[in-house]
Structure 1
Amino acid sequence: MIDNIGFIGLGKMGMPMAKNLLNSGYNVFGSDVNESAINEFQSLGGTSGKFLDWLHNVQTIILMLPSSKIVNQVIDEIIDHYASDQHSHQDHLVIIDMSSSYPDETRKNFIKLEKKNIEFLDAPVSGGVKKAVSATLTIMIGGKVETFTKCKRLLGSIGSNLFHVGPIGSGHLIKAVNNYLSATHLLASCEAVQLLQNFEVEPETAIHVFNQSTGRSSSTEYKFPSFILTESFDSGFSLELLRKDLEMAKQLFLHAGAMTNLPQIVFDRFDNASHTLDQDADHTEIYQFVSSYLLKRGKSNEKDSETICSSSNSSISF
């Protein structure tokens, strides 16, 4: 029997993920606010429509949405329109939130859904558009082991590295921390490369040395060669989305009472970059923002440093 899957959020990541589900033999119903995305999805063989129209035709719904706020709205609508008696001949409905949502909101949604006999997993992904296309994403799953086991084949059609990391909310928690680490690596690498360039070391040379040494990271091994050194800045992951993830990570450290100001410093850099660069800037364009402050000198630099770091008391001046 072909499983019916609902997919809400057919963006840069969601579209290739939904395509891989179609290629794996699933019957996929898709929804998105973007009409061109709907047209593309239909051309791939998917069935489109407002999700409330196909809600009772699916066994599983995947959410790939830009914020917790939107995830909460969609889940509330599902709860309002879901009638368990229409699913009496099927397994319970399962919702999988693959967005980068706030863990606390995820736990609240789990409680609401459990009251309606709707199963829930948080399963954010890492790997970017390239791995979404190749179905080799890393997926970090939080929730009941039984629900994860039920969905393992489906998730395996989207990613090649599946990790059940703990109870509900754990997936979103580790994803936020992962993106914080990724952003920190990227920022440090951008500053290091531009510092060395000031001493007439070519960026390509610096990156090559780092990648053969202990300073290497996914930023030096992948992002620099693919998007920064080529000046394409087209990774497919926006600066604004990374800023949102960093704000989430900053709050997690803050609420835990962690004695560190590094999450605040990293957030401030990306937050100021998001206000300085174009609204739709790629996150790899942080390299260009770094060049605006790193090696400026004198009074003009003091003024620029104040502007760049105005959102935080934990600023850094150069």
Structure 2
Amino acid sequence: MSTTLFIGLGRMGRPMSQHIAKRFPTAVYDVFPGSVDAAAKDAQVTPVHNLADVSDVGTVIFMLPTSKNVEETLVGARLLDRLEAGALVIDMGSSVPASTQRLAAAAAERGVHYVDAPVSGGVAKAASGELTMLVGGKPAAIEHARPYLEAVGSTIVVVGDSGSGHAAKAINNLVSATNIAVATEAVLRGKAAGIAPERMIEVLNASTGMSQASCVKFVSHILPGTYASNFAYDLMLKDMGIAMEIDVPEAASTLTRAAYQLLAEGREHLGDQPDHTEIARVYEHLANVSINSINEEQA
């Protein structure tokens, strides 16, 4: 049986590779050798420290931070040239749709299937194998990829042709970040009206203002002051930028453009490697007011 090569062993990639390895002979690679060795200790995978050493690869799965990383590996390192016709490439990271379309076209010239299947659900769902995948590609390629998608997730949403999965993921994260921003503004307005932050979140969650931001992000990360969702602010900002590059009339994107500009400019007020839930801390800085429970208690 041919080898499945899983590339990218970060917080989400590592547990995802373990689920893949339960069903398919799997080799793992990362630019950080320590991550490769650690993954090999936790699962029945073959560690790879040099891509040139891998042979008989039938499927390549990427879980990398950017399109540039994917391009450098697939094209720059000539991995695509080594794949036989009928092989499969799945990009499960958050890439730029236009880049995905170019890579899919290059793969098609070699008879290689290409699917973009960015995931949603965070580290917890990656660990449990219950991710949601937003899938783009040709129907035959998607069916070829389905067993691998089912190995890591519980929900598969096919959204269209190549690049559409990555577009959908970026748009989803644009909404997610904007929801956090709006919920934070609601908390600030509530506080100005004499409503404690936790009470204002309780109001939203019992009413029509409820969102994933108010139900999960505020309750688990922002009000406690932990900011530990394990999804980086910079990655969220990158995805927002990808979504903003999708052309719509400017008059129809006033709200999201304002949110993106605010959070891009507010990045300078945060430290190294902030969590995306620290969107709330941008507002704390701008309003010079604390909104999480820890800061409230210390005030």
- Post-superposition shift, 1:60? 0.7
Partner of 1:251: 245
Pick which of 238-247 and 197-206 moved more.
197-206
Counterparts of 2:8 and 2:281, CA distance in 1: 30
Using structure 1 for the length normalisation, give the TM-score.
0.85
Partner of 2:29: 31
Counterparts of 1:188 and 1:285, CA distance in 2: 13
Paired residues, number: 287
* 1:291 maps onto 2:284 in alignment: yes
Work out which of the residue numbers 137, 148, 154 in structure 2 matches 1:154.
148
* 1:190 maps onto 2:179 in alignment: no
* 1:181-229 alpha-carbon deviations (Å, 9 max, x no partner): 1011011101111221233322221111211111011111111111111
Kept after mapping to 2: 8 A contact 1:243/1:274: no
Change (3 A) 1:106 1:225: same
The 3-state SS of whatever aligns with 2:133 is strand
Q: Structure 1: which amino acid aligns with 2:35?
A: A
Pick which of 285-294 and 256-265 moved more.
256-265
Gap runs ≥5 in structure 1: 297-318
* 1:222 maps onto 2:220 in alignment: no
Counterparts of 1:154 and 1:134, CA distance in 2: 15
Q: Structure 1: which amino acid aligns with 2:146?
A: K
Percent of pairs identical after alignment? 32
Change (3 A) 1:83 1:63: closer
The 3-state SS of whatever aligns with 1:82 is helix
Using structure 2 for the length normalisation, give the TM-score.
0.90
Counterparts of 2:189 and 2:50, CA distance in 1: 51
The 3-state SS of whatever aligns with 2:271 is coil
Work out which of the residue numbers 89, 112, 125 in structure 2 matches 1:131.
125
Counterparts of 2:199 and 2:79, CA distance in 1: 58
- RMSD over aligned CA atoms reads 1.8
Pick which of 42-51 and 60-69 moved more.
42-51
> 4+ residue runs of structure 1 moved beyond 3 angstroms?
77-81
Counterparts of 1:50 and 1:220, CA distance in 2: 42
* 1:34-53 alpha-carbon deviations (Å, 9 max, x no partner): 23311210112321114523
- Post-superposition shift, 1:242? 0.6
Gap runs ≥5 in structure 2: 290-299
The 3-state SS of whatever aligns with 1:293 is helix
- Post-superposition shift, 1:4? 2.6
Partner of 1:265: 258
Kept after mapping to 1: 8 A contact 2:114/2:141: yes
The 3-state SS of whatever aligns with 2:55 is helix
Change (3 A) 1:56 1:77: farther
